[in-house]
Amino acid sequence: MILPVIMAGGTGSRLWPMSRELFPKQFLRLNGEQSMLQDTVTRLDGLNVSEPLLICNEQHRFLAAEQLRQINQLSNNIILEPVGRNTAPAIALAALSATANGQDPLLLVLAADHVIDNKDAFHQAIQLATPLAEQGKLVTFGIVATGPETGYGYIQRGETYGESAFNVKRFVEKPDLPTATEYLASGEYYWNSGMFLFSAKRYLEELGEFRPDILAACQLAMADVKIDSVQDFIRVDLEAFSACPDESVDYAVMEKTTDAVVIPLDAGWNDVGSWSALWEVNERDDNGNALTGDIFTHKTSNCYINTDDTLVAAIGVENLVIVNTKDAVLVIDKSQVQDVKKVVEFLKSNDRREYRVHRESYRPWGRHDKVVDAPRYQINRVTVKPGGKFSLQKHLHRAEHWVVLSGTAEVTLEGKTYLLTENQSTFIPIGSVHMLENPGKIPLELLEISSGSYLGEDDIIRLKDHYGHC
């Protein structure tokens, strides 16, 4: 059995303003109708694999669960990392979970934010790797380099192993341009994809050999694991996992083991690590423009333009990235896209919300769009999915006025329950105990007007919480 293990813990700051700390790139729809996470899962269709095991940050749990639910892949299969500790511990959590009942599946370790154009070539590489992993080899997939890329680590191949693989001679860090050019010319180097196939028990054996401290910390974290069958989460012990060293799987295991082999993969792979990389993987018009959204162009070429919901007009420009979201606009030359991190650093150092969240945020019950954010009042457009409900709560500093735009709302206010439908409204006084639920079959849309001396999220006093503090 092959168990896909999907790593979805990154923050993707290089794709700001679309990617934010609480809505990173793996959850965005950047190259089609599905998110990158959903693409990663559905790319496995046609292979003999089990349902995936997803590893993600605690703060992304509801977003991850909703996206798996949308593609019918949600079944108590999300391991929550209470803190980030890099890939070696994350894979150890997956391996310990997979072997808990005495089984020993092959773990197909994948990143949630990669693009792979050639699905058939990807499947073929996995099929070639499977018998090697069954023999106890730790297989990595080396991307056939198409240029002297300085943004990737590299794998140097050694002697051939079998008909389709090579022993790994060494892993090397991101090189400078002259060194990358030498690597490409030699034909011995592949880009390090960060994808692996190996037996769960075999990985734990090697981790115990080379980094017993990591293995011990992960075993302790999994010893008191809590299964949340209602919300499909596997929660590990915070204190034990926080004490685990931060280490990549390359450093911890792959660079030290004598059983690492590499299979070349030529499948249109891209880790979409920048806006220019996203321009490369998207379809482009006759002028080389990759366009998403409501856009007008004239005498414009080789640009990437993406807009949420407002018109963007670009005239007489070339080689630009223009990204428009509801609360931020980025304009940058394609050759300078690595400097997007400068913006993120500025926003973070000034405690600006734009580095962390979007104007529109997703909640376990639906979504919340902050249309107006003034000092003493806010106007939010709220969408509650069928069956979704707010926590039973009260506020000490603000009152709220709810106006139903469409759907049906079931309101509980100071112990009394009543229904509201389109064009009806209700008032929630300061200090009153209240709850909102969508009992209908279609989404509930409403305007929430909040007013008062303090409008922060920490003025929500939850008396009955359905979702774990969200």
Please write the tens of the pLDDT for every residue from 130-152: 999 999 999 999 999 999 988 88
Provide the pLDDT for residue 230: 58
Report whether 47 contacts 128 (CB < 8 A).
no
What is the pLDDT, as a whole number, of residue 470?
44
Q: pLDDT tens digit string along 373-388? A: 898 999 999 999 999 9
pLDDT of residue 186 exceeding 60:
yes
pLDDT value for 295: 97
Q: What is the pLDDT of residue 229?
A: 59
Query: Is 466's pLDDT higher than 80?
Result: no
Confidence class for position 468, pLDDT limits 50, 70, 90: low
Q: Is the pLDDT of residue 71 over 90?
A: yes
Is residue 444 within 8 Å of residue 402, measured between CB atoms?
A: no
CA distances from 191 to 28, 173, 194 (A): 24, 10, 9
Q: Which is higher by pLDDT, 227 or 220? A: 220
pLDDT band with cut points at 50, 70 and 90 for residue 231: low
Q: Tell whether the model's pLDDT for residue 124 goes beyond 70.
A: yes
What per-residue confidence (pLDDT) applies to 19? 92
What is the structure's pLDDT at 357? Answer: 87
pLDDT for the residue 424: 97
For residue 392, what pLDDT is reported?
Answer: 94
Asked if residue 272 has pLDDT above 50, the reply is yes
Q: What is the pLDDT of residues 392-449, one digit of tens each?
A: 999 999 999 999 999 999 999 999 999 999 999 999 999 999 999 999 999 999 999 9
pLDDT value at position 469?
A: 52
Residue 188 has pLDDT above 60, yes or no: yes
- Indicate whether 347 pLDDT > 50: yes
Average predicted confidence (pLDDT) for the chain: 92
**217 has pLDDT over 80:** yes
How big is the chain, counted in residues? Answer: 470
| Residue 426: per-residue pLDDT | 97
Percent of the chain whose pLDDT exceeds 90: 78
